[in-house]
Structure 1
Amino acid sequence: MIEVSARLVAFTEDRLLLANHRGQNWYFLPGGNVEPGESIETALRRETDEETGLRVRNIEFLGCVEHLYDEGGTIFHEINLLFAAQVPWGADIGSREDGIDIVSVAFDRLPALDIRPAATTAAITDWVNSRRPSWRPAP
């Protein structure tokens, strides 16, 4: 199965937003799967609003991270398209979905966290340092 996901790297000064499933100790970027017939940008805005209540305005392409995983014997090939946006300081952001928490973390803590897919951390760090999109292939 191939999945295309649109994910948001939401920055506020030196912090960014991450999501996690309650009870798990790993994180992922807010966003989700692109539905059939839906544009990537529409999916990004829909999923971000559904999860965080954040309505992103100006987005910038950050990169692509491929990910392979096995779920119940089915192999999934996930294409994560990453976009960056500034979040106004003091914006009302929080989880809008049961079972998901939205947290703000300092950018310098990113390497110490278990973020999935793992290549996401390198893609974000590279973009912050160069402002050039990158592609991280599946291992």
Structure 2
Amino acid sequence: MKKKQFHRLARAVIRKGDSFLLAKAEGWQNSFLPGGHVEIGEGAETALLRELQEELGVKGKITSFLGDFEHSWQHEDTMHFELTHVFEAVIDEEQIESQEPHLRFFWATTEELEELDLQPYPLINTLRGNQLPASVWRSTLETN
């Protein structure tokens, strides 16, 4: 029987012109949006701003909620399931430097998203302009 693991994540769509900020983790082929795990008892927006500070050393500002994405993948003997809350965000800094040695950040155009194996996969169509319907985000965990 395979093990199962659940991940709740908050990630940011950060744009610069026609490019999006993406990340890759050492040893993995896929790319993903900046952000990371939401801690138990932490709101998604708070987690995203914390992760941007930890990963990039920047203060971010969330401008809108884009949607939730469910995703699964297998790694070794574990089946992973994730729920990713995706927000549009802005940062002031032009130069991006990873604050974590296992992560590399880079800018990519919509034409590069498939070859960079952006996950979760439904993000590719969303970032290409096939936008989600207007979304609403409400949480009893957020303080602002």
Whether TM-score is above 0.5 comes out as yes
Match of 2:94 in 1: 91
Q: Tell me, which stretches of 5 or more residues in structure 1 are unaligned?
A: 135-139
**1:92 match: secondary structure:** coil
Larger radius of gyration: 2
Match of 1:77 in 2: 81
RMSD over equivalenced CA pairs, Å: 2.2
Match of 1:137 in 2: none
Offset of 1:118 from its aligned partner? 1.9
Match of 1:132 in 2: 133
The answer as to 2:40 corresponding to 1:63 is no
Q: What are the Cα deviations for residues 82-135 of structure 1, in whole angstroms up to 9, with x where unaligned? A: 1112344x623221101110001123332332112222212322xx4546358x
The counterpart of 1:110, out of the listed 108, 113, 118, is: 113
State how far apart, in whole Å, the 1-side matches of 2:119 and 2:44 are: 20
State how far apart, in whole Å, the 2-side matches of 1:131 and 1:122 are: 10
Q: Work out whether residues 13 and 88 of structure 2, in 8 Å CA contact, stay in contact via their aligned partners in 1.
A: yes
Distance 1:131 1:120, change over 3 A: closer
State how far apart, in whole Å, the 1-side matches of 2:28 and 2:83 are: 22
Flag the structure with higher helix content: 1
The counterpart of 1:3, out of the listed 7, 10, 24, is: 7
Distance 1:13 1:82, change over 3 A: same
Q: Work out whether residues 63 and 87 of structure 2, in 8 Å CA contact, stay in contact via their aligned partners in 1.
A: yes
State how far apart, in whole Å, the 2-side matches of 1:50 and 1:132 are: 31
Offset of 1:23 from its aligned partner? 5.0
Q: Work out whether residues 33 and 43 of structure 1, in 8 Å CA contact, stay in contact via their aligned partners in 2.
A: yes
The answer as to 2:16 corresponding to 1:12 is yes
Q: How many residues align?
A: 131
Q: Work out whether residues 11 and 87 of structure 1, in 8 Å CA contact, stay in contact via their aligned partners in 2.
A: no
TM-score, structure 1 length as denominator? 0.80
Distance 1:130 1:75, change over 3 A: closer
| Percent identity of paired positions between Structure 1 and Structure 2 | 34
